Structure 1
């Protein structure tokens, strides 16, 4: 909006002879005579206007009004000049440059906001509610009755709460009866407001109303709420330029396939478009952990990112200590504990929230291990068939287990059984709890136990005898979403193909499911729809567990039956990397380090656990079975041709 023009008799003026020449930006190149000010007009920094092109005295300098032609900011630009200038004025004021903002208003002729808006802000911030309501009608406009009603209610509610906080109960009751009640609120809402009268202490009021009080940010929040009902051309949303920059940053991140840096890292610059360096992406195996004697089926990082647990067919689980990343050449990497005593292969593992306990699943048994001592704390034998999944609750209160026996059991942190679901509709192959601790997502198959694949891989045998083909199991696989508290099914999807794993995104919205053959699916848990497919890896008959990766979970990582690791961009589905390195057999599981955004681990049928980091690392460290027995540690130099030479440290 333009500032009002003044008549020549009322404006501040300077002699044309003394006015300085204006540069391209319309800024005066010199100072005019101080006696050009009319008597009685202040010179404290508020700029008076002298009409188009006239110079105005401001702190002893001349500020001239610039009238540039055309609405666009530049030739061929879509940016409106007035909108841009008003946002710059707002941004200058937000940053504390009040005089510069006032000068820009004077020079451009565009005011950031009308006097009504300025008055309204002031009235709200000082609690002058009657004055604020009188201005509100002019801001919202009579044509928006619903918006005006909502804005008035917000003001009345703020006034009511402030009176209660000040223990002016009679005045608050008067507002409730004479101002709020006639507005025709729903009875439940009116009853809730009335209940605040019973609060004996202001702290009780603030807690019950979820309101931070007069001295808090409640009035600023009130202004932000009322912004919704006032045209943005009149009342510019707060910190609008910052919001636009944030949107630009988010868009650039979404276009950056290898984006993997913290949202507010110092690496962001307004001078250039954001682009993450591909060389900073984890694509080289920097650690080869070799201590298992058989296939490795699972890996899981501790929450502090310092330890890596691996589960193997060799009936052991190993807790590896992965030293700091500061100096890879000297990084201390060794088995911290080897957890034996499993009578069967270890199929699944899970860390407690504080990393003090590691769960292991071995056939129908669950063991709790003290990660500091390496001793077994407790043995649980409630399942009757193989335990396929163990998941700690995000609040640390306990964990959930699922198995092929259709049982889903909830345990406390010490391993005490809390309850179990009624027999699940599927033989559970994996489960996951959403980070908000509200839902449990289960994947599995509807088969008559026990189901075992025949040698030719084409048929499965059931306990009733006879064979059925894999095609007979079409639509026999399901994803089920339960309410974690009530145990009721919220959503059930029948899916074709084997479902071997499920992971939940950090925002609780998406479920990542390994789906044989040869696909990974991303499902929206809100709409229940398939969002995206990730293809390229091979999965036919083996259980492969994928995961989200990166700072914002914007990568999808999976192993494959061809012995490689595959990485995709989550939002586009673009295949970013195919990483070789493992030996023959399947890469069975991957896990991204929760504290080191450029590190993840994989495990394979080749008995190895690999740790992947950005290239080029100066060395690879490898631990062998021999080292586990106490003979020392092997460090390997990384050669350019891939040949390693080792030196033994005793």
Structure 2
């Protein structure tokens, strides 16, 4: 059954039959697998190899060594010395287990040492006996190592067909510009392709409630609410109707004397904090809309704010170039990070509470302050940072630069921070423009723009945006992707409105 099949002639018939046989056995169709081998004349395993594996399972290691050493009808391996050593090692360990020290020593000196294995490997042999696994575990480990020495096509790797099919689906998914659907939507029965209709690109509702420019907005963690803040000195909590899917105003939060820069949700979505521009920070109850606490220092205004990772306190980036931490009752928490050499522009804490992330207004750097070690990691970027946001898993940092570029940095803590993506296309010359991660598995980046449009990029394609959404009548200052609805995006604009974007199914 020689030859190949397929339009490109890349698939060997014998390999395909063997892979199919393995898949049938893994699915429990042993009888069908036997029929396939009989009819095709292609065995899943070469008879010599099957004999070797049977002998290994019975721990007949001497027989296995002979099969490896035979030149004509023996087992073909890529490195005979390594294979023999692995098998002789088992013989040595069995002798030690039976207290047969003479034969163990003889095996070591007469058969293993001449193979030229590194001395350090030989010195580890006694410890392998002390920490010896059960017989079945030893068999599995030995055969796993010996299998690596067989020619590539000698043994079909376990689950090979499933792995090939999964890789095919994965590559189709990653090559799709608009992939914004759960993996369960993938099918083997047709080539995968998400059309632009999978991206929120149609205005499904316009929210009117602010009387001046809307500077910031953020969906709640459960996706049921949206909070916005404005130059009109207020913030608004919007609630989505479970039946119709439309937002309505729940509370208008009034009490600031200056524009509200940001509004942020507590981890449990029960409270929000608002930061007045060079003013104070306020904490509000979402249920009642009442102000619960005000935070700040005498004659020192706030620049930005954030929540402690567990919702137990408040972070304030203040005009005196310091970061302050408060308990919910307003008492200060000891914080050893000193005064910055520049005005702090934005601040946030990772969800595990380990890192305090901040950026300064003048210098091209981002600070990662380790709250455990009290050490600091500084990321140098290619231009002044105008805003940043963290991915939900805290592994990535999304950075907006004055150069009209958006950079993505990996900051997972296992290695030095490094830039992994760079995007451009949106417009920014005067204002603070904010971006966000979103969509399925946070595979998209959305950003506002001074040209009154929303820009969306797929993170796997460092090219132009995959979608540009017109509709606003002024600069788009901020965007937020609903964390629980892949197909809902919100944008805030100087035109005093908020747009809710959904799927265009027409």
Q: Which residue of 1 aligns with 2:261?
A: 347
| Among candidates 293, 296, 300, match of residue 381 of structure 1 | 296
| Among candidates 248, 252, 259, match of residue 179 of structure 2 | 259
Q: Which moved more, 1:134-143 or 1:103-112?
A: 134-143
Unmatched 5+ stretches in structure 2: 69-74, 99-104, 109-119
Q: Which residue of 2 aligns with 1:295?
A: 213
Going from structure 1 to structure 2, the CA distance change for 1:223 and 1:146 (only over 3 Å counts) comes to closer
Going from structure 1 to structure 2, the CA distance change for 1:314 and 1:132 (only over 3 Å counts) comes to farther
C-alpha RMSD of matched pairs (Å): 4.2
Q: Which moved more, 1:516-525 or 1:287-296?
A: 516-525
1:114, 1:506 → 2: CA distance?
50
State whether structure 2 residue 19 is matched by structure 1 residue 87. Answer: yes
1:354, 1:150 → 2: CA distance?
58
- On the 8 A contact 1:517/1:538 being kept in 2, the answer is no
Q: Which residue of 1 aligns with 2:112?
A: none
The equivalences for 1:259-338 within 5 A come to 259-263=179-183, 265=184, 267-324=185-242, 330-338=244-252
Unmatched 5+ stretches in structure 1: 1-67, 160-169, 172-177, 198-212, 447-475, 618-650
The equivalences for 1:187-586 within 5 A come to 229=148, 231=150, 232-263=152-183, 265=184, 267-324=185-242, 330-362=244-276, 363-381=278-296, 384-393=300-309, 400-410=315-325, 417-420=332-335, 421-434=337-350, 438-446=354-362, 476-496=363-383, 498-506=384-392, 508-525=394-411, 526=415, 528-572=417-461, 573-584=463-474, 586=475
SS at 1:379 equivalent = strand
SS at 1:495 equivalent = coil
- Once the two structures are TM-superposed, the CA of residue 274 in structure 1 deviates from its matched residue by 0.5
- Once the two structures are TM-superposed, the CA of residue 345 in structure 1 deviates from its matched residue by 2.0
1:522, 1:571 → 2: CA distance?
11
- Once the two structures are TM-superposed, the CA of residue 392 in structure 1 deviates from its matched residue by 4.9
Going from structure 1 to structure 2, the CA distance change for 1:615 and 1:103 (only over 3 Å counts) comes to same
Deviations along 1:335-386, whole A, 9 cap, x unmatched?
Answer: 1222222233221222122212212222353222222222223222259342
The equivalences for 1:108-127 within 5 A come to 108-114=40-46
Q: Which residue of 2 aligns with 1:99?
A: 31
- On the 8 A contact 2:302/2:316 being kept in 1, the answer is no
| Among candidates 494, 500, 505, match of residue 611 of structure 1 | 500
- On the 8 A contact 1:253/1:274 being kept in 2, the answer is yes
State the structure with more CA Rg.
1
1:92, 1:249 → 2: CA distance?
21
Deviations along 1:599-631, whole A, 9 cap, x unmatched?
Answer: 0111111221111101258xxxxxxxxxxxxxx
- On the 8 A contact 2:453/2:469 being kept in 1, the answer is yes
Answer 1 or 2: higher relative contact order, Cα 8 Å, separation at least 6: 2
Q: Which residue of 1 aligns with 2:101?
A: none
Deviations along 1:482-535, whole A, 9 cap, x unmatched?
Answer: 334323223431432x31222234565432211113222223445644443322
Going from structure 1 to structure 2, the CA distance change for 1:509 and 1:100 (only over 3 Å counts) comes to same
- Once the two structures are TM-superposed, the CA of residue 560 in structure 1 deviates from its matched residue by 0.9
Provide the aligned length of Structure 1 versus Structure 2.
467
